[in-house]
Amino acid sequence: MTNLSLKSAPAQDHAALDISAITALSKAAGDPLRMQVLKVLQQNAYGVLELCQIFDIRQSAMSHHLKILANAGLVATRREGTTIFYRRNPRNASPDLQQLQQALFNSIDKAVLDTGLAEHLKQINAERAAASVEFFNRNVSRFEENQDLIASWSDYGDSVESFLESSINASGTAIEVGPGYGQFLGKLSSSFDQVLALDNSAEMLEQCQSRATQQGLENIEFILGDTSVAQQRGAKADCLSLNMVLHHNPAPAEIIADCASLLAPQGVLLVTDLCAHDQEWVKESCGDFWLGFEPEELTHWASLAGLVEGNSLYLTQRNGFRIQLRQFSAGSTAI
């Protein structure tokens, strides 16, 4: 009888813990404002002050709501320089709650964000983007010097070009978003019939076009703007390249979703970017918005956009940075 009692007790404790965790998660989600916060954090991360601006509430009140969400495992934090960013937590600490949490997120994703909040969110993202464009316009003459502080094209460019060759056989249209000084455009120009080069920095685009002209690259169209401009033109690409772009972009998940919409059937998205790191100096010196990304983040955003993960390659640089080369493919019909 004693042995039976000892075996039964742990099961009862486990059940009690599960009920407590479920209660905490349900309580955290059972508030209209916190539900809206989880909606805002659907595909991007924001700091406390940004969330205060979006929701027009005091910092103390927002911090209180974020603490409740964090204690329930619904949001996670990541420090980027001196700012702590909040994002939705893709994996609950309790495996038993993962299915419930994912069902909650799926329902939130289908909901419509309040119109006023959507406008505030758009304003925040616009301010982020404007700051990035201003940095590159101001530092156009130092672009290569700044990039060399992290990773020189000469260090990893051959790997990117080889990755392209092993990733796609099509020869139609390629799009490169944020081509920099155009180091990759020569390879794209020789591999595809038509190339579109998109950049929202007029100064950078001018430098890129000048260098392409010097190389005699004639099948490239240079477009001032971002992915939304290409969408408005109805462009479709057999290959789309994001080469060291995402860590400069204020809304990386949205850019990946835009790129997915620009892919032709069976089109391929190639992403080259930094793995997550802790070298904060790159924000001021190189205009980086994010300190790289965990590979799982790119996989998650691509999956949300309807893309299928393909090949991956990881390169360690001499200064400790790691570069990830990732391939994602569209289905048989355009996204």
Residue 334 has pLDDT above 50, yes or no: no
96 contacts 18 by C-beta, under 8 angstroms:
yes
Overall average pLDDT of the 111-127 stretch? 89
Closest CA to 244 of 325, 313, 185, 316: 325
Q: Whole-number mean pLDDT of the chain?
A: 87
- Residue 65 has a pLDDT of 96
| CATH code of the domain made up of 142-329 | 3.40.50.150
Q: What angle do CA 289, 290, 292 make, to 5 degrees?
A: 140
* C-beta neighbour count of 145 within 10 angstroms: 11
Q: Do domains 2-113 and 142-329 have the same CATH topology?
A: no
Closest CA to 201 of 234, 260, 248: 248
Residue 325 has pLDDT above 90, yes or no: yes
Residue 33 has pLDDT above 60, yes or no: yes
> pLDDT tens digits for 145-175?
777 778 889 889 999 999 998 877 767 999 9
Overall average pLDDT of the 272-294 stretch? 89
Is 92 in a helix, a strand, or coil?
coil
pTM, two decimals, is 0.76
Buried b (16+ CB within 10 A) or exposed e, 17-29: eeeebeebbeebb
The third-level CATH classification (topology) of the domain covering 2-113 is Arc Repressor Mutant, subunit A (1.10.10)
Question: Which has more confidence, 199 or 283?
Answer: 199
Dist. CA 228–CA 261, nearest whole Å: 10
Residue 188 has pLDDT above 80, yes or no: yes
> pLDDT tens digits for 50-92?
999 999 999 999 999 999 999 888 998 888 767 889 999 877 6
Residue 199 has pLDDT above 90, yes or no: yes
Overall average pLDDT of the 103-110 stretch? 88
Question: Which has more confidence, 259 or 6?
Answer: 259
21-35, 201-215, 295-309: lowest mean pLDDT where? 21-35
Dist. CA 322–CA 266, nearest whole Å: 29
CA distances from 32 to 27, 28, 55, 112, 114 (A): 11, 10, 12, 13, 11
Residue 15: band (very low, low, confident or very high) from pLDDT cuts 50, 70, 90: very low
Residue 198 has pLDDT above 90, yes or no: yes
Residue 9 has pLDDT above 50, yes or no: no
Domain ranges of the chain: 2-113, 142-329
Per-residue DSSP letter, 293: B
Is 273 in a helix, a strand, or coil?
strand
- Residue 167 has a pLDDT of 78
